[in-house]
Amino acid sequence: MIKTLILLISLTLFASEPISPIPTNIKVNLAKAKLGKKLFCDTILSKDNSTACVSCHNLSKGGADSNVVSSGYAHNKGNIQSPTVFNSRYNFKQFWNGRAGNLTEQADGPINNPDEHNMDPQTIEERVNNSQEYKKLFKEVYSTSYITYKQVLESIVEFENALTTPNSRFDKFLRDEIQLTKDEKDGYIIFKQYGCITCHNGINIGGNSFQKMGTFLDYEMQDDYPDRSKITKNPNHKNVFKVPTLRNISKTAPYFHDGSAKNLKEALTIMAKHNLGIKFETEEVEKIISFLKTLDGEQPKILEEI
3-class secondary-structure state, position 77: strand
The mean pLDDT of 12-29, rounded to a whole number, is: 83
- Yes or no: say if 4 and 149 are a contact pair by the CB < 8 Å rule: no
Question: Is 116 noted as a catalytic residue in this protein?
Answer: yes
Q: What is the DSSP string of 252-287?
A: S-SBSTT--B-SHHHHHHHHIIIIIS----HHHHHH
As a whole number of Å, the end-to-end CA separation of the chain is 56
CA distance 236 to 219: 14
Instruction: Encode pLDDT of 66-104 as tens digits.
Output: 999 999 999 999 999 999 999 999 999 999 999 999 999
Instruction: Encode pLDDT of 259-270 as tens digits.
Output: 999 999 999 999
**Can you give the pLDDT at residue 13?**
42
Q: Tell me, letter by letter, the H, E, C secondary structure of 204-215.
A: CCCCCCEEECCC
Domains of the chain and CATH, by start? 2-23+165-298 (1.10.760.10), 30-161 (1.10.760.10)
pLDDT above 70 as % of the chain: 94
CA distances from 42 to 52, 108, 124 (A): 5, 15, 12
Nearest CA to 111 out of 102, 101, 121 is that of: 121
How many of the other CB atoms lie within 10 Å of CB of 24?
11
Confidence class for position 306, pLDDT limits 50, 70, 90:
low
List 105, 116, 158, 284, catalytic entry: 116
The mean pLDDT of 266-283, rounded to a whole number, is: 97
Q: What is the pTM of this model?
A: 0.92
- Yes or no: say if 77 and 71 are a contact pair by the CB < 8 Å rule: yes
- Yes or no: say if 109 and 101 are a contact pair by the CB < 8 Å rule: no
